[in-house]
Amino acid sequence: MPHQPPHMSPEEFRRHGHAAIDWIADYWASLDDLPVRSQAAPGDVRRLLPASAPKAGEPFDALLADLDRVVVPGLTHWQHPRFFAYFPANSSPAAILGDLISSGIGAQGMIWATSPAVTEVEQAVLDWFAEALGLPADFRSDGPGGGVIQDTASTATFSALLAALHRASGGEARRHGLGDAGWRVYGSSQAHSSLVKAAMMAGLGEDAVRSIAVDPETQAIDLAALEAAVEADVEQGLTPVMVHLAAGSTSTGAMDDLVGAGRIARAHGAWVHVDAAWAGVAAVCPEHRAHLAGVESADSFVTNPHKWLLTTFDCSTFWVRDRAALTGALSILPEYLRNAATESGEVVDYRDWHPQLGRRFRAIKLWAVLRTYGLEGLREHVRSGVALAALVADLVRADDRFELVTEPSLSLVVFRLRSGDEQTMAAMEAVNASGEAYLSHTTVEGRAAIRLAVGSWRTTRADVERTWRALQAAADG
Amino acid sequence: MPHQPPHMSPEEFRRHGHAAIDWIADYWASLDDLPVRSQAAPGDVRRLLPASAPKAGEPFDALLADLDRVVVPGLTHWQHPRFFAYFPANSSPAAILGDLISSGIGAQGMIWATSPAVTEVEQAVLDWFAEALGLPADFRSDGPGGGVIQDTASTATFSALLAALHRASGGEARRHGLGDAGWRVYGSSQAHSSLVKAAMMAGLGEDAVRSIAVDPETQAIDLAALEAAVEADVEQGLTPVMVHLAAGSTSTGAMDDLVGAGRIARAHGAWVHVDAAWAGVAAVCPEHRAHLAGVESADSFVTNPHKWLLTTFDCSTFWVRDRAALTGALSILPEYLRNAATESGEVVDYRDWHPQLGRRFRAIKLWAVLRTYGLEGLREHVRSGVALAALVADLVRADDRFELVTEPSLSLVVFRLRSGDEQTMAAMEAVNASGEAYLSHTTVEGRAAIRLAVGSWRTTRADVERTWRALQAAADG
CB contacts under 8 A, B 97-116 vs A, are 97-101, 103-108, 112-116
* End residue of a domain, out of B305, B334, B360: B360
pLDDT score at B59: 95
- Phi, psi for B240 (deg, rounded to 5): -70, 120
pLDDT score at A450: 98
Tell me how many helices (H) and strands (E) chain A has: 14, 11
Across the interface, whether the CB atoms of B18 and A13 are under 8 A apart is answered: no
CATH number assigned to the domain comprising residue A184: 3.40.640.10
Calculate mean pLDDT across residues B146-163: 98
Select the residue of B57, B388, B442 nearest A377 (Cβ to Cβ): B57
Given pLDDT bands bounded at 50, 70 and 90, which one contains residue A5? Answer: low
Across the interface, whether the CB atoms of A17 and B1 are under 8 A apart is answered: no
Q: Which domain holds residue A55?
A: 10-36+38-75
Residues in a beta bridge with B417: B402
Asked if pLDDT for residue B4 goes beyond 60, the answer is no
∠ Cα A93 B74 B38 (to 5°): 135
- SS3 (DSSP) at A274: strand
- What is the domain count for chain A? 3
pLDDT score at B1: 43
∠ Cα A127 A133 A137 (to 5°): 50
Q: Are A185 and A210 in contact (CB under 8 A)?
A: yes
**Closest by alpha carbon to B242, among B298, B164, B163, B158?**
B164
* End residue of a domain, out of A360, A385, A404: A360
Across the interface, whether the CB atoms of A203 and B173 are under 8 A apart is answered: yes
At A425-453, the pLDDT tens digits run: 999 999 999 999 999 999 999 999 999 99
Select the residue of B79, B90, B107 nearest A78 (Cβ to Cβ): B107
Mark whether B70 and B112 lie in a shared domain. no
Q: Kindly compute the dihedral angle of the four CA atoms of residues B88, B91, B93, B97, in this order, to the nearest 10 degrees.
A: 160
Work out the percent of chain A whose per-residue pLDDT is above 90. Answer: 94
**Closest by alpha carbon to A307, among A354, A254, A263, A369?**
A369
Given pLDDT bands bounded at 50, 70 and 90, which one contains residue A334? Answer: confident
Residues A456, A259: Cα–Cα separation, whole Å: 31
Residues B245, B254: Cα–Cα separation, whole Å: 10
Nearest CA in chain B to A310: B7
Q: What stretches of A263-376 adopt beta strand conformation (E)?
A: 271-275, 300-303, 316-320
Asked if pLDDT for residue A147 goes beyond 80, the answer is yes
Asked if pLDDT for residue A1 goes beyond 50, the answer is no
Mark whether B343 and B406 lie in a shared domain. no
At A192-237, the pLDDT tens digits run: 999 999 999 999 999 999 999 999 999 999 999 999 999 999 999 9
Residues A139, B110: Cα–Cα separation, whole Å: 30
Mark whether A343 and A469 lie in a shared domain. no
At B56-76, the pLDDT tens digits run: 999 999 999 999 999 999 999
Mark whether A203 and A153 lie in a shared domain. yes
- Torsion-angle region of residue A408: left (phi > 0), alpha (psi -120 to 50) or beta? beta
At B441-471, the pLDDT tens digits run: 999 999 999 999 999 999 999 999 999 999 9
Q: Is residue A156 part of a domain?
A: yes
Q: Are A412 and A253 in contact (CB under 8 A)?
A: yes
Residues B109, B118: Cα–Cα separation, whole Å: 5
Q: Is residue B280 part of a domain?
A: yes
Q: Are B447 and B419 in contact (CB under 8 A)?
A: no
CB contacts under 8 A, B 186-225 vs A, are 192-194, 196-197, 200-208
Residues A207, A223: Cα–Cα separation, whole Å: 21
B296 touches chain A (CB under 8 A): no
Work out the percent of chain A whose per-residue pLDDT is above 70. Answer: 99
At A52-76, the pLDDT tens digits run: 999 999 999 999 999 999 999 999 9
Q: Is residue A5 part of a domain?
A: no
pLDDT score at B5: 60
At A34-48, the pLDDT tens digits run: 999 999 999 999 999
Work out the percent of chain B whose per-residue pLDDT is above 90. Answer: 94
Mark whether A273 and A348 lie in a shared domain. yes
Q: Which residues of A touch B6 (CB under 8 A)?
A: 372-373, 377
Mark whether A312 and A189 lie in a shared domain. yes
Mark whether A48 and A127 lie in a shared domain. no
Given pLDDT bands bounded at 50, 70 and 90, which one contains residue B425? Answer: very high
Q: Is residue A415 part of a domain?
A: yes
Sheet holding A402-404, edge to edge: A402-404, A412-417, A447-453, A440-444
Mark whether B376 and B333 lie in a shared domain. no
pLDDT score at A335: 75
Q: Are A364 and A101 in contact (CB under 8 A)?
A: yes
pLDDT score at B323: 94
Select the residue of B101, B116, B202 nearest A67 (Cβ to Cβ): B101
Calculate mean pLDDT across residues B427-437: 98
B372 touches chain A (CB under 8 A): yes
Mark whether B212 and B245 lie in a shared domain. yes
Residue B377 CB-half CA count within 13 A: 23
Asked if pLDDT for residue B45 goes beyond 80, the answer is yes
Q: Is residue A260 part of a domain?
A: yes
pLDDT score at A336: 72
Residues A371, B416: Cα–Cα separation, whole Å: 47
Given pLDDT bands bounded at 50, 70 and 90, which one contains residue A6? Answer: confident
Q: In a 10 Å sphere around its CB, with 0-12 CB exposed, 13-18 middle and 19+ buried, how is residue A462 labelled?
A: exposed
pLDDT score at B11: 94
Asked if pLDDT for residue A4 goes beyond 60, the answer is no
B237 touches chain A (CB under 8 A): no
**Closest by alpha carbon to B385, among A43, A204, A5?**
A5
Calculate mean pLDDT across residues B173-194: 94
Q: Is residue B134 part of a domain?
A: yes
CATH number assigned to the domain comprising residue B47: 1.20.1340.10
**Closest by alpha carbon to B396, among B411, B415, B418?**
B415
pLDDT score at A309: 98
Q: Are B2 and A387 in contact (CB under 8 A)?
A: yes
CATH number assigned to the domain comprising residue A461: 3.90.1150.10
Tell me what the pLDDT averaged over chain B comes to. 96
Select the residue of A43, A91, A174 nearest B206 (Cβ to Cβ): A174
Chosen from B105, B281, B464 to mutate, greatest number of chain A CBs within 10 A: B105
Calculate mean pLDDT across residues A157-180: 95
Chosen from A372, A392, A456 to mutate, greatest number of chain B CBs within 10 A: A372
* End residue of a domain, out of A360, A379, A407: A360
Calculate mean pLDDT across residues A162-172: 96
Mark whether B427 and B320 lie in a shared domain. no
Given pLDDT bands bounded at 50, 70 and 90, which one contains residue A2? Answer: very low
Q: Is residue A253 part of a domain?
A: yes
Q: Is residue A93 part of a domain?
A: no
Select the residue of A7, A58, A74 nearest B116 (Cβ to Cβ): A74
Q: Is the pTM of this model over 0.80?
A: yes
Mark whether A17 and A128 lie in a shared domain. no
Calculate mean pLDDT across residues B32-47: 97
Residues B34, A263: Cα–Cα separation, whole Å: 54
- SS3 (DSSP) at B16: helix
Mark whether A242 and A111 lie in a shared domain. yes
Given pLDDT bands bounded at 50, 70 and 90, which one contains residue B179? Answer: confident
Residues in a beta bridge with A149: A317
Q: Which of A343-357, B200-214, B371-385 has the lowest mean pLDDT?
A: A343-357
